[in-house]
Amino acid sequence: MTDTARMRRADALAAIYPTLAQEDVVVVTIMGAVAVELYNLGHRPGFFYLEHAMGLASSLGLGLALSLPHVPVVVIDGDGSLLMNLGTLSTMARYHPGNLTHVVFDNESLLSVGGFPTATSTGTDLAGIAQAAGVPNVRRADTVESFAAAFDDAFAGNELATIVAKVEAVGPKSFHMDLPMLENRFQFWRYCRELGSRAG
Amino acid sequence: MPVSVTNSHVIYDALRAVDVRLVSALPETWLVHLIRMAEDDPEMILVRLAKEEEGVGISAGAHFAGVKSAMLMQNHGFLASVNGIVSFAQLYKMPLLMLISHRGDLGELDPWQTQGGMVTLPVLRALGIPSFPLTDPVTAPRIIRQGQALAESALTPVALLLTRDLMWEEAS
pLDDT in tens, B39-83: 999 999 999 999 999 999 999 999 999 999 999 999 999 999 999
Is the residue at A18 inside a domain? yes
Name the domain count of chain A.
1
What would the DSSP string read from start to end of B8-67? HHHHHHHHHHTTEEEEEE---GGGHHHHHHHHH-TT-EEEE-SSTHHHHHHHHHHHHTT-
Is the residue at A96 inside a domain? yes
Q: Could you report the per-residue pLDDT of B91-131, keeping only the tens digit for each?
A: 999 999 999 999 999 999 999 999 999 999 999 999 999 99
Q: CATH code at A34?
A: 3.40.50.970
Q: Could you report the per-residue pLDDT of A24-42, keeping only the tens digit for each?
A: 999 999 999 999 999 999 9
Residues 44-103, chain A, touching B (beta carbon < 8 A): 48, 50-68, 85, 87-88, 90-91, 94-95
Question: A114 forms bridges with which residues in the sheet?
Answer: none
* Least-confidence region, from A148-152, B87-91, B168-172: B168-172
Is the residue at A151 inside a domain? yes
- Say which DSSP state B155 is in: T
Residues of B in contact with A182 (CB under 8 A): 92-93
Angstrom distance (rounded) from CA A144 to CA A142: 7
Is the residue at A4 inside a domain? no
The pLDDT confidence band at residue B1, using thresholds 50, 70 and 90, is low
Angstrom distance (rounded) from CA A131 to CA A200: 34
Angstrom distance (rounded) from CA B50 to CA A89: 9
Give the ipTM of the model, two decimals please: 0.96
Domains, chain B, in order of start with CATH, read 5-167 (3.40.50.970)
Q: Could you report the per-residue pLDDT of A126-160, keeping only the tens digit for each?
A: 999 999 999 999 999 999 999 999 999 999 999 99
- Say which DSSP state A5 is in: P
Is the residue at A1 inside a domain? no
What is the reported pLDDT for A2? Answer: 44
Is the residue at A2 inside a domain? no
What would the DSSP string read from start to end of B93-146? T--EEEEEE-TTSTT---GGGHHHHHHHHHHHHHHT--EEEE--TTTHHHHHHH
Q: Could you report the per-residue pLDDT of A59-112, keeping only the tens digit for each?
A: 999 999 999 999 999 999 999 999 999 999 999 999 999 999 999 999 999 887
Cα separations (Å) of B150 from A83, B96, B160?
34, 10, 12
The pLDDT confidence band at residue A115, using thresholds 50, 70 and 90, is confident
Task: Check CB contact of B81 with chain A, cutoff 8 Å.
Answer: no
- Angle at B63 (CA atoms; ends B85, B66), nearest 5 degrees: 170
Domain span including residue A32: 9-199
